[in-house]
Amino acid sequence: MDEFGKLADPVDIGGVPIRNRVFQAPMSGVTDEAFRRRAYGHGAGLVVSEMIASGELAKGRLDTGRRVRHSGLPVHMVQLAGREAHHMAEAATIAEAEGADIVDINMGCPAKKVTGGYSGSALMRDLDHALTLIDAVVGAVKVPVTVKMRLGWDDTALNAPILARRAEQAGVKMVTVHGRTRCQFYQGKADWRAIARVKAAVSIPVVANGDVGSPADAETVLEQSGADAVMVGRASYGAPWIVGQIAGAAGGDTSSRVPANGAAMADYVVEHYEEMLALYGVESGLRQARKHLGWYLGRHAPGLSPLLRSTIMTSLDPAEVIHTLRAAFVAAAEVEPVRAAA
């Protein structure tokens, strides 16, 4: 079988049909509803909410409400983080009531804020405790439960295959493995071959993640890991279409509308900006949007003058930001027309 071509095939996650096998990774502060709609619209097989702290969701904090809310997409996958079984169970119940089709458990986040609370990848240091959380979530909801993990805590404890097998036995329907340890954070290169050990340990679908940014990467990660699907994170900064493009390269039916020139890029970015203002309200939205604008500019208008860049990145007036963005992308395309579509 053509390994790369299989990425265009549908996959079943505990009874939920997923249209192809190239997934957008959850990224806190990035993959909000606006971003996920874009990624899905471009052809991503699956998109996942930002991580939601289960204790906060259980307490009804506003930001978590925004994160858990149904985006209107055909598959709503919600990711929960936490270390208390009762909070995880309660949060999973809330997610299910919000219409989640799949609940994912975060066992991969390396942030001290998260691991310091013994959630995220810290759970890989105590698999018995990790299993109590999995049991609690699986027991709380009818929808399929999945787990996202790293290879292990550090090089001396590469226990992802054990966690994955125990998770499968506990009823988990898919695992995603970021090919780094917690102690690597984001340094070094993801070890795609190590993901093969997880694949060998389970019969549920395994998703390979880490440093995939192109069809060629996706092909290599599949060869080296034998995984069933791939998940792409940071490569989608300033390019929400990347995941759909990889699926399309594999033969997926992705009618992706990728901006083809400076004016189209300007329209695209302005539309995304306006969606963020609508999602968060103007005051918060214009701040939250800055990282995306910075990525779009860095990638598609790299020669932008510091003055225009600074206006875009600091102005508190959305009309001024939009006006300057349009000027920036049109000017960039005049200098280097092909760059806009890269």
- Could you list the residues that contact ligand FMN (CB under 6 A)? 25-30, 50-51, 79, 106, 108-109, 148, 178, 209-212, 232-235
Taking the complex as a whole, the smallest distance from the CB of residue 30 to ligand FMN amounts, in Å, to 5
Please, are residues 26 and 67 in contact by the beta-carbon 8 Å criterion?
Answer: no
Identify the residue whose tokens are 């709503």. 76
Residue sitting closest to ligand FMN (CB): 233
Burial of 41 (0-12, 13-18, 19+ CB in 10 A): middle
Please, are residues 150 and 124 in contact by the beta-carbon 8 Å criterion?
Answer: yes
Please, are residues 79 and 57 in contact by the beta-carbon 8 Å criterion?
Answer: no
Nearer to ligand FMN (CB atom), residue 29 or residue 60: 29
Nearer to ligand FMN (CB atom), residue 222 or residue 322: 222
Element (H, E) at 179: strand 174-181
Taking the complex as a whole, the smallest distance from the CB of residue 78 to ligand FMN amounts, in Å, to 11
Nearer to ligand FMN (CB atom), residue 195 or residue 212: 212
Give the long-range contacts of residues 134-139, CB within 8 A, separation 24 or more: 134/105, 134/166, 134/167, 134/170, 134/171, 134/172, 135/85, 135/170, 136/85, 136/86, 136/88, 136/89, 136/92, 137/80, 137/88, 137/89, 137/92, 137/103, 137/105, 138/170, 138/171, 138/172, 139/89
Nearer to ligand FMN (CB atom), residue 145 or residue 322: 145
Element (H, E) at 23: strand 22-24
How far is residue 59's CA from residue 6's CA, in Å, rounded to a whole number?
42
Taking the complex as a whole, the smallest distance from the CB of residue 125 to ligand FMN amounts, in Å, to 17
Catalytic positions are: 109
Taking the complex as a whole, the smallest distance from the CB of residue 221 to ligand FMN amounts, in Å, to 10
Tokens of 147: 């787990």
Nearer to ligand FMN (CB atom), residue 137 or residue 333: 137
Please, are residues 202 and 168 in contact by the beta-carbon 8 Å criterion?
Answer: yes
Taking the complex as a whole, the smallest distance from the CB of residue 213 to ligand FMN amounts, in Å, to 7
β-strand pairing of 11-13 with 16-18? antiparallel
Nearer to ligand FMN (CB atom), residue 36 or residue 148: 148
β-strand pairing of 229-232 with 16-18? unpaired
Taking the complex as a whole, the smallest distance from the CB of residue 310 to ligand FMN amounts, in Å, to 23
